[in-house]
Amino acid sequence: MSLTRTAISENYQQALKLAVKLMKDAIRRRSGYEADINDQNEIVLSAVSDVEVVGLLTSMAFDKESYLPAISEALNRAGKELFFDRHKKRFTNLEKVENFISAQEKPAIDDADRGAIKFGQILPHLSKSNAQYWKNVLIKQYPEWQNISIPKEHNPERWFIDLNNRLFKMRLCYPEGGIMDTSKLDGMDDLNESQVLAGYKNIWCGIEKRYPPNFLQKDAPQRSAIITRYLVDGILQQNPEELLENLEEVFFIEHKLQNVYRYFNYSANRAFRNAYPEIIMPWQKSRIDSFYWREADNRISAVQWLVEEKLNISPAGLRKAKIHRRDFARYGLSYLFNRYYNSVGKALQEAYPAYQPWQLGIVSVNYWNDENAAIAVKSMIESKGWAVDSLPDRVYKKELNRRTFGEFGLAALFEKKFGKNIFNAIDAAYPGRFRPWELGNVPKGFWQKHSSLLSVLRWIAGRENIQDKGLSDLIKRDVLTKQCIKKYAIGRILLNRLKGRLHTIFNPVYALNFHRNKTVKRLENFIKKERQMRSWRLILLYGISYPMVCRVSIEDEQRYSRMLKRMKRLEDRR
């Protein structure tokens, strides 16, 4: 079964990780210390390039149980070609140790056969896919490659392993052949994208040992971005964010990007962000300078990125979402959270100033004072697009109810602040606009107040277009009848409260009129008495003191007159 390039690349990455783990475990068992992966890089790459392993990579999806025996055996074979330097405690290539040849190992091709190798001698040492690529693509384009030679200092078996690895990479980079010659390129020239890519491809495939001179001396950010994107998107075919998050220590060395890594001061984040400025953020897998967060725009961008990009929450959905401080830590924003917010609510308020706090789901019961409660209810009504005068009808049709408040995150306000009473909520937003009975049930204790009974009667008179010249007079003249009152549900409740005797509603009024009339009579008597004190008969009684007595009497009369006028004005208003 032939796999796609993506599947082969995934297999390669998984096999490499398994080989690294096996190598570390072996050294830990033997020496008792943890080995640096860089020390085993050559052994691991040799094992993954083994003919048998490459065959698995190109024909079978990665499965640990299936790959484990082949990779273990390949590691053993590669280890026999390497010498353990006990002084340096690291593995060193045996090719650097003179005259070291194991008596038990014999190369696949004898020393006498070294030099030119015939075409037929190469194919048996290649994997099936590599052999087809070598025969059908490369040899057709480059016939001179039919006769190649193994350098005398190389072990033939190891040389074929390297050849398989190079052909595997060349198939990924040049599936149709057409290898560009980059040996004469100079980085100080104006290189186009194809030339830049060719310079990297030839290094990654092992065709060239070095980049063109001065490769990153000119247009370094642009060239670095081109080859980084090609590696991630074209060869590895991975998501750059996920790749950065799980980046291993040898990534840039393994993929021949040491120069790019060095150019960005050994910062993987900067290298990736240069290639993907719209995807990779400065704080991802990196320690960012503290002064960066002093700018409000940077903080806002980070919080919005976390909410919308990583948590996949739209601003409108924040009220129902559950965002925790651990979400900030998980995506590299713990310093931002602890230093500038220490509260999810504060972070969301700064990032989304157009939204009210209750729309973000971050308010407590203490937040709901009268002003904030009124603003919230008005905002709810306006968001629904309802006219204020239509609210009674919407309550009657049950369009405006508790669920309406819940839709806007105001359920706690409705229950705690307004006692689950719609009138209390609407009256807070539009004071005096409606009567309690127009918006559902009247508040508790409503019917115990005599003023409430009169207000119902006056409201019914207004709805019947009866001019209120005195409710008692209207009832006595049968202008406001029981039939009129029964038209309204609140009127029927009123009659039930009065047990059908409508005139009893005015009993307290009669008592009030009695006391008022008594007070008026007393005032009128006081005024009359004061006027009598200023008659000519009193001149003889008070003598020279009469002017003073007269002045006091006038002042008392004026005070009583003002009191009498005030009471009459109040009576007229009623």
Q: How confident is the model at residue 43 (pLDDT cuts 50, 70, 90)?
A: confident
Between 116 and 282, residue with greater pLDDT: 282
Tens of pLDDT along 19-29? Answer: 888 887 777 66
Residues 333-375 pLDDT 10s: 888 988 888 888 888 888 988 887 777 777 776 778 888 888 8
Question: What tens digit of pLDDT does each residue of 214-225 get?
Answer: 999 999 999 999
Least confident of 41-55, 192-206, 332-346: 41-55
Give the pLDDT score at 35.
56
Name the nearest CA neighbour of 205 among 176, 165, 232.
Answer: 165
The closest of 555, 559, 558, 550 to 532, measured between CA atoms, is 550
- pLDDT value of position 257: 92
In this predicted structure, the answer to whether residue 328 has a pLDDT above a threshold of 80 is: yes
Is the pLDDT at 55 greater than 80? The verdict is no
Decide: helix, strand or coil at residue 82: strand
- Structure confidence at residue 376 as a pLDDT band (50, 70, 90): confident
Q: Which region among 81-85, 164-168, 273-277, 486-490 has the lowest average model confidence (pLDDT)?
A: 81-85
pLDDT of 91: 42
- Residue 300, both tokens: 């806002």
Determine the pLDDT at residue 248. Answer: 82
How does pLDDT run across 66-93, given as a tens digit for each residue? 788 788 888 887 776 554 443 343 444 4
- Decide if 97 contacts 83 (C-beta within 8 A): yes
Q: What is the mean pLDDT of residues 137-160?
A: 77
Q: Which residue has the higher pLDDT, 327 or 80?
A: 327
State which of 461-475, 511-525, 545-559 shows the largest mean pLDDT.
545-559
Task: Output Rg (C-alpha) for the chain, integer angstroms.
Answer: 47
Q: By C-alpha distance, which of 122, 220, 167 is closest to 8? A: 167
pLDDT at 398: 82
- Which of 82, 214, 217 has its CA nearest to residue 161? 82
pLDDT band at 63 (very low <50, low <70, confident <90, very high): confident
Q: Which of 275, 211, 288 is nearest to 243 (CA)?
A: 275
Q: Are 361 and 321 in contact (CB under 8 A)?
A: yes
Amino acid code (one letter) for 120:
G
Q: Rounded to whole angstroms, what are the CA distances from 81 to 58, 70, 125, 157? A: 25, 17, 18, 10
For the residues 422-441, what does the mean pLDDT come to?
80
Which burial class, exposed, middle or buried, applies to 285 when counting CB atoms under 10 A from its CB (0-12, 13-18, 19+)? middle
Is 80 exceeded by the pLDDT of residue 31? no
Of 139 and 551, the structure prediction assigns the larger pLDDT to 139
Cα gap 21→13, rounded to integer Å: 13
Structure pTM? Answer: 0.53
Write down the domain spans for the chain. 5-96, 290-360, 365-436, 446-500, 514-573
Query: Helix 51-59 vs helix 5-31: angle between axes, to the nearest 10 degrees?
Result: 140
Highest-pLDDT range among 62-66, 361-365, 452-456, 506-510: 62-66
Please give the pLDDT value at position 537.
Answer: 58
CA angle 522, 525, 531 (to 5 degrees): 145
What value does the mean pLDDT of the chain take? 77
pLDDT for the residue 438: 73
Would you call 130 helix, strand, or coil by DSSP?
Answer: helix
Spatial distance between the Cα atoms of 526 and 519, rounded to a whole number of angstroms: 11
More confident residue, 51 or 401: 401
Greater confidence (13 vs 438) lies with 13
What is the number of alpha carbons within 13 Å of residue 70 lying toward its C-beta?
19
> Distance between the two ends of the chain, CA-based, in angstroms?
99
